């Protein structure tokens, strides 16, 4: 009945159902569009490059740099000090200085690129120049090897070739590993947020709390029922979000890359789904219990939002960990609630299952949930909490119970 009633509340429907389904795909599209736009703007900026001591034997370098995309050669002379001064003053973005003896060494073209790392435009100029110089050097080396009749391996005993072995499916998994765990945690917390406040402070504000307390069921059942209702909406929000993200990610990226991203597949391994669902349930139970504890001290919905918001922000902590793709899921991380589940999600999406750590995660979450639920039930036994007579926070309340005079608990429930 509480669920039926809740689904008629606009805020709950919006935050627990519509946002998980629609908002994050839309936000993702906006974010990626923004990146594309900013990237386009950056690519359009012209790099002003000063050349110093260009060797006559390598005049082609000058031509190639001048013809390079968005590169403008501002000066070409032998005054390096003046060129560096221009760089420091921001009049040029990069200074390319060739070694004095490079004019005579056919295969060598020693050069240094001076740039200002504090300016994006300068760093971008350096990158553009370096790309052209590297390509020029590689071509010269290959030509010389051909002239001598040797292979590249014989000519260059030590060289490095980049070969990206990532499949399209793996590219998709990489994106999902970064995005999905973060969104899942955020969605669960968001899905629990309004129901947790609505079922505690909201009841008090609507004067229905006392009505609920006179129902012919044990108080502990009332608390448990509310807890399960809040957690259910949290899980629903998470699962709806997974479906929405998996369905929308491919088309969004494809549309923004002009079809180049079409090959990437954004699929979760089937074997990961039970682990993800279990993790979502654990986080939802954890977040629901904690949010209800904080919201229990609020007398109005607004107060409830104020009291629960810090905890909501705390649940975003895993984002920090997830932004480091190479961070391993280790036993110390498995001891941190919510973070452990986020890491477990990430591994599972990548098809990795570290069962001892998964077991540790489940144990840690279970212990924390039981402790929180016990605390919620203990708090709600006190008349002054559910009658709204107590004014203060959880910490003030607990301190008062531990150090203060004995006060009324409401019966043997």
Partner 1 sequence: MSDAPVVTSELAKTYYDEDRGEIRAVDRISFACERGEILGLLGANGAGKTTTLRMLSTVLAPTSGTATICGHDIVHDPAAVRRSLGFYSASTALYPRLTTRETLEFFARINQYPSDRVKQRVDELIARFGLEKFAGARIDKLSSGMKQKVSIARTVAHDPPVLIFDEPTVALDVINALEMRDIIAELRDAGKAVIFSTHIMSEAEKLCDRIAIIHDGRILALGRLAELQAATGERYLEDAFIHYVRGVSTDAPPTADSDGTR
Binding residues for partner 1, rule: CB under 8 A, are 1, 4-6, 8-9, 206-208, 210-211, 213-219, 383, 387, 405, 407-413
**DSSP at 149:** T
Residues present in the chain in total: 413
- How far apart (Å, rounded) are the C-alpha atoms in residues 283 and 308? 16
Identify which of residues 310 and 411 has a Cβ nearer to partner 1 in the complex.
411
**Distances from the Cα of 234 to the Cαs of 11, 299, 342, 344, in angstroms?**
14, 23, 15, 18
Identify which of residues 218 and 331 has a Cβ nearer to partner 1 in the complex.
218
- How far apart (Å, rounded) are the C-alpha atoms in residues 198 and 193? 9
Identify which of residues 77 and 211 has a Cβ nearer to partner 1 in the complex.
211
**DSSP at 199:** I
Q: How many helices and strands (H and E) does the chain possess?
A: 19, 4
DSSP one-letter string for 369-400: HHHHHHHHHHHTTBHHHHTS---S-HHHHHHH
* Residue 233 CB, nearest approach to partner 1 (Å): 15
Of 292, 282, 296, nearest in space to 369 by CA: 282
Identify which of residues 168 and 409 has a Cβ nearer to partner 1 in the complex.
409
Identify which of residues 232 and 361 has a Cβ nearer to partner 1 in the complex.
232
From the CB of residue 33, how many other CB atoms can be counted at a distance below 10 Å? 13
From the CB of residue 59, how many other CB atoms can be counted at a distance below 10 Å? 10
**Distances from the Cα of 206 to the Cαs of 42, 201, 203, 307, in angstroms?**
54, 9, 5, 18
Identify which of residues 117 and 408 has a Cβ nearer to partner 1 in the complex.
408
* Residue 285 CB, nearest approach to partner 1 (Å): 24
User: CA angle, corner 248, sides to 242 and 252, nearest 5?
Assistant: 140
Identify which of residues 101 and 210 has a Cβ nearer to partner 1 in the complex.
210
- How far apart (Å, rounded) are the C-alpha atoms in residues 182 and 392? 32
* Residue 221 CB, nearest approach to partner 1 (Å): 9
Identify which of residues 8 and 147 has a Cβ nearer to partner 1 in the complex.
8
CB 345 within 8 A of CB 322: no
- How far apart (Å, rounded) are the C-alpha atoms in residues 353 and 315? 23
């Amino acid at each position: 009945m509480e669920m039926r009633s809740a689904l008629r509340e606009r805020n709950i429907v919006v935050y627990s159902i519509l946002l998980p389904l629609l908002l994050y795909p839309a936000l993702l599209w906006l974010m990626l569009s923004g990146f594309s736009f900013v990237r386009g703007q950056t690519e359009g900026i012209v790099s002003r490059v000063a050349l110093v001591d260009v060797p006559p034997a390598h005049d082609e370098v000058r031509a190639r740099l001048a013809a390079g995309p968005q590169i403008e050669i501002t000066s070409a002379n032998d005054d390096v000090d003046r060129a560096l001064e221009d760089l420091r003053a921001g009049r040029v973005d990069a200074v390319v200085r060739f070694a004095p003896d490079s004019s005579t060494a056919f295969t060598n073209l020693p050069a240094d690129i001076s740039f200002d790392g504090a300016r994006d435009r300068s760093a971008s100029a350096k990158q553009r120049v370096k790309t052209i110089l590297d390509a020029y050097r590689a071509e010269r080396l290959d030509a010389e090897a051909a002239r001598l009749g040797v292979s590249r391996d014989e000519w260059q005993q030590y060289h490095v070739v980049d070969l990206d072995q990532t499949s399209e499916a793996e590219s998709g998994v990489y994106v999902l590993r970064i995005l999905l765990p973060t969104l899942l945690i955020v969605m669960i917390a968001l899905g629990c947020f309004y129901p947790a406040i609505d079922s505690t402070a909201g009841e008090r504000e609507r004067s229905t709390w006392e009505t609920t307390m006179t129902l012919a069921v044990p108080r502990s059942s009332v608390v448990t029922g509310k807890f399960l209702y809040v957690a259910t909406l949290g899980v629903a929000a998470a699962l709806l979000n997974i479906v929405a993200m998996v369905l929308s990610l491919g088309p969004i990226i494809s549309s923004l890359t002009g079809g180049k991203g079409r090959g990437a597949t954004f699929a979760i391994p089937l074997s990961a789904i039970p682990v993800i669902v279990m993790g979502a349930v654990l986080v939802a139970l954890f977040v629901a219990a904690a949010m209800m504890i904080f919201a229990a001290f609020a007398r109005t919905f607004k107060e409830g939002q104020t009291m629960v918001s810090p905890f909501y922000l705390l649940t975003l902590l895993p984002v920090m960990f997830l932004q480091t793709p190479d961070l391993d899921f280790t036993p110390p991380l498995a001891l941190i609630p919510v973070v452990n589940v986020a890491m477990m999600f990430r591994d599972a999406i990548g098809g990795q299952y570290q069962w001892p750590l998964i077991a540790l995660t489940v144990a840690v979450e279970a212990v924390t949930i039981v402790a929180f639920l016990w605390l919620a039930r203990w708090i709600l036994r006190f008349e002054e909490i559910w009658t709204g007579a107590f004014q203060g926070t959880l910490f003030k309340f607990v301190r008062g119970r531990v150090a203060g005079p004995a006060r009324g608990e409401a019966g043997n429930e």
